[in-house]
Amino acid sequence: MLYDFYKILDIPRSASSEDIKRAYRNKAKLIHPDINNSPKANEVFVVVNEAYETLSDDHKRYLYDIQLNYIDAEKVNAERKKQYYGSSVKNDTFSNSSHFQNEWNNSSKAIYQEKTDADYYRQSPLLYNLFFASGMLIGFIILIVTIVGTFKNFWPFPFIVIVVPGFILVREGWNGMMGKRTVIGGILKRLRK
């Protein structure tokens, strides 16, 4: 469940780190399980502690603010739909706030998840194979032009070294079309890390 940590600590969203610390100490004095005999004091203290840990760390606070703004925007959209369509619209979007926590976690994981060759193939097999086939075609053209041009004396013999990139393109294109791991894909994966 997503709590509004600013409301829990009774501070505005623009509060400074000193305001957060002061509000946390005041709340902790009231609800600490050693002082407060309520059976729920321990649970409430855990939530207040989590609020302080999140809001006192700048990175965690930034991510939490993004999440909170997302939920606020969804609430506004739901309210607009309710006003537009009338009260007959079933608006259970916010009845389960863990729905937003799960949606947030899934979307943040999807953002940082690295796509594999299989993902690209599933997305568009025709384009995927066309990419490798065009690489093979360019590789064949490089091979043929370089070999024929060198042996017909259109350019000097050291120019034959250009055969190497053509050979690599043909090999990588073939491996890509056959679903094998390509060297270029491995290099690009290492560079992205």
What does the pLDDT read at residue 1? 57
Options 3.40.50.300, 3.40.50.261, 1.10.287.110, 1.10.760.10; CATH for 5-112 is 1.10.287.110
Token pair for 184: 């270029």
Lowest mean pLDDT among 18-32, 97-111, 125-139, 153-167: 97-111
Tell me what percent of the residues of the chain surpass a pLDDT of 90.
7
* Confidence band for 111, pLDDT divided at 50, 70 and 90: very low
Q: Is the pLDDT of residue 104 over 50?
A: no
Q: What pLDDT shows up at residue 181?
A: 66
Task: Compare 97 and 81 and report the one with higher pLDDT.
Answer: 81
> What distance in Å separates the CA atoms of residue 126 and residue 174, rounded to the nearest whole number?
15
What are the structural domain ranges in the chain? 5-112, 117-192
- Using pLDDT thresholds of 50, 70 and 90, give the confidence band for residue 52: very high
| Model pLDDT for residues 123-147, shown as the tens digit of each residue | 777 887 788 888 889 988 988 888 8
Q: What DSSP string describes 49-75?
A: HHHHHHHHSHHHHHHHHHHHHHHHHHH
Token pair of 177 as six digits: 């079309």
